[in-house]
Amino acid sequence: MTTPTPTASRSSWWNIVVPRSVQEAFGVRSIRWFLSGVGTDSFADALWLVTLGWVAGTNASPFVYGVIMTLGTLPALGLFLFGGIASDRFGAGKVLIATSLARLLIATGWLAFAVQPAPSQTATLLVVTVIGVLADATMGYHDPARESYITVLSGSQRLVAAANDAERLVVRVGQTAGSVTAGFLLGAADDQRWVTAACWAGGCLATFGIFTRVRRLAPEPPPMQAESRPSLREGLAVLKGEHTLIRTYPLQSVASMAGGGAITVGGVLLVQRNGWPASTYGFAMAGYLGGLFVGARLGVWIRERGTRAPIAVAVLGSAVAACLQIVAALVPFAWVFVVCCAMSGVSTGPMGPLLTGYAKLRAKIRQETGGDVVAGRLLAPLYFGLNLEPAGYLVVAGSAAIASPSAGIVLLAVLTLLLVVRALASPHVRAAQLPAA
């Protein structure tokens, strides 16, 4: 029997920690810089979301809190489809730089407010709502551009899948780091909001600088001519022909609503109702986002192995997450809630590398076979659905105002399970494949 050499052993462990597909993506200079920008972008987003939730939750009633969280994450819904068209028409890189600059200016505005002496609760809620609305409005153009940029930077279908794997993992790392940093700073700084505001502005500044560098490294094709510019109707027609995406997009949307409702809003309300320490909310958020990272790594492993029916596996994971959310809502123990949030993240995590990865792969295939750039239009409906998460906030906050937040969490989880059944009933979903490593 041959004894493994130390070098081979270290190589094996390195491949476990950092998947081969991720190593391949980081080997491309422009993608490496892009992924760095995705990391700082995700860090800043998560930090702001936790700050928004905490500032609103500690200054408003449960229903007003739900309304503020909804308004702070709602404007993008009306802009995602147009953002996808803009990415295809003007170039994802150009749109990405413009939105990154806008987000930097908005974060600077919040910092300017946060350094002032503590105002009244009404003024605080008004300003945080306005900042949230403006920040989310930019997401309507920012997210489709960021997601479709992968297809521009990647020269092959295999590299698209590898870059998507790397992006999903980097996003989860950034989100986890941002939420943990926000929770730590909000507690350690004794609610001195200027500290988290400065970190948010710093993250936006780094993101803007990095994405500017990426566009210089990888110039995009020239913008489409007026006579060939894409329309919203054409984009929806493209999506209509994608049978697997038609079944999985609604599931990803409702799963996002259920996760956001159960943890982002439900977490605060359950902590308050059950008298748990405030740290429970921070641990639950960190556990959920950390679980998403572990789940994303699991999804990468599933794709690399060439597992049969990877899309169906991701769909089943969302069913497991829904069941865990039901347990978290009904069992009145803080440690059970934290564990269920973390495991829900693990179960949901594979959806990024597998379902979102499949959507990007289909966009690349259509571009290669038809010669038309469709990534923005094909991915925009997905991010429209994912950003219906505020509806989950309203459902849970509304049920809390009427009876209990648990009722809203259970309702969204049951709806997720129904869409799982619908998706798995499709032979296209069960047969869909991704390229193995």
- In the DSSP assignment, the letter for residue 264 is I
pLDDT of the residue at 17: 64
How is the chain split into domains, by residue range?
26-219+229-431
pLDDT of the residue at 416: 96
Supply the CATH classification number for the domain 26-219+229-431: 1.20.1250.20
- Rounded distance, CA 428 to CA 312, Å? 10
Average pLDDT, the chain: 83
- Rounded distance, CA 407 to CA 389, Å? 17
Q: Is 19 helix (H, G, I), strand (E, B) or coil?
A: coil
Bigger pLDDT: 371 or 382? 382
Asked which of 37-41, 46-50, 61-65 is least confident by mean pLDDT, the reply is 61-65
The answer to whether 71 and 132 are in contact (CB under 8 A) is yes
As a whole number, mean pLDDT of residues 3-14 equals 49
The answer to whether 21 and 303 are in contact (CB under 8 A) is yes
- For 131-176, give the DSSP string: HHHHHHHHHHHHHHHHHHHHHHH-SSHHHHHHHHHHHHHHHHHHHH
Token pair of 281 as six digits:
């909310």
Gyration radius from the chain CA atoms: 21
3, pLDDT greater than 50 = no
- Rounded distance, CA 175 to CA 159, Å? 24
Q: Identify the residue whose tokens are 């959507």.
A: 359
Nearest Cα to 428, choosing from 164, 153, 243? 243
Over residues 272-319, the pLDDT tens digits come to 888 888 778 878 888 887 888 889 889 888 888 877 889 999 999 999
67, pLDDT greater than 60 = yes
Q: Is the pTM of this model over 0.75?
A: no
pLDDT of the residue at 213: 92
Task: Tell the burial category of 128 from Cβ atoms under 10 Å away from its Cβ (0-12, 13-18, 19+).
Answer: buried
As a whole number, mean pLDDT of residues 179-189 equals 74
Query: How many Cβ atoms sit within 10 Å of the Cβ of residue 223?
Result: 12
As a whole number, mean pLDDT of residues 195-218 equals 90
